[in-house]
Amino acid sequence: DWVDVGDAVRDAVERCGKTHPGRVTRISLAPDLRFIRGDQDLLAQVIFNLADNAHKYADEGEVAIHARNEGDQVVISVTDEGPGIKPVDLERVFEKFYRGGGTDRRKAGTGLGLSICRGLVQAMGGTIEAQSPAIRRRGTRMVVRLPAAELPEEA
Ligand code: ATP
Ligand code: MG
């Protein structure tokens, strides 16, 4: 299917509002955002998982979701103002059952969310990576890149 990324983002943010009432999730979507090939519900699931983590591990602050075109890709980012992820853990967070130490253990979770996200994004032909400055408490950004789709010609 051709997926409207904006619709998937709005769907995820709506769910996020129910899971994290009172928290702010900002959306900014490029006006000329291209479609991708995949499944809208699964893409919304990925974005929801990232935004859910963002609110869960950041005790305060806003979460910002951006989507824009970059070359032949659509880039979706989810940025929080939380504790960040240590450089050594930036890849490990995508492992099955990996959970951070310290205070993260006090939040409910199985450690499967991000490994599922990576599987779904890869199935749609894309990549996902975690970025976080080495300085603590400077937040986390999760970046999803998906190939932009060519829309079929109108008959
Ligand atoms: P689940 O999503 O299965 O309920 P989970 O949130 O622990 O459980 P993942 O979503 O896979 O599992 O995340 C793995 C670990 O990565 C988390 O336990 C946490 O330590 C770290 N992490 C994920 N997102 C963030 C974030 N935005 N800020 C800080 N740490 C994060
Ligand atoms: Mg999670």
pTM for the full predicted model:
0.95
- Cβ of 61 closer than 6 Å to ligand 1, yes or no, is no
Q: How does pLDDT run across 95-154, given as a tens digit for each residue?
A: 999 998 777 778 888 999 999 999 999 999 999 999 998 777 789 999 999 999 988 776
Query: Residue 34 C-alpha to ligand 1 middle, in angstroms?
Result: 29
* Backbone angle region of 151, left / alpha / beta, with phi > 0 → left and psi within -120 to 50 → alpha: beta
Which atom of ligand 1 is closest in space to residue 112's alpha carbon?
Answer: 3
Q: Which atom of ligand 1 is nearest to the CA of 114?
A: 11
Position 155 scores a pLDDT of: 59
- Residue-level pLDDT at 153: 74
- ipTM associated with this complex: 0.98
**42-93 pLDDT tens trace:** 999 999 999 999 999 998 999 999 999 999 999 999 999 999 999 999 999 9
Q: How far away, in angstroms, is 6 Cα from ligand 1 center?
A: 24
Angle (CA) 61-82-14 rounded to 5° is 55
5's tokens: 């990324």
64 C-alpha to ligand 1 centroid (Å): 17
What mean pLDDT do residues 17-43 have? 97
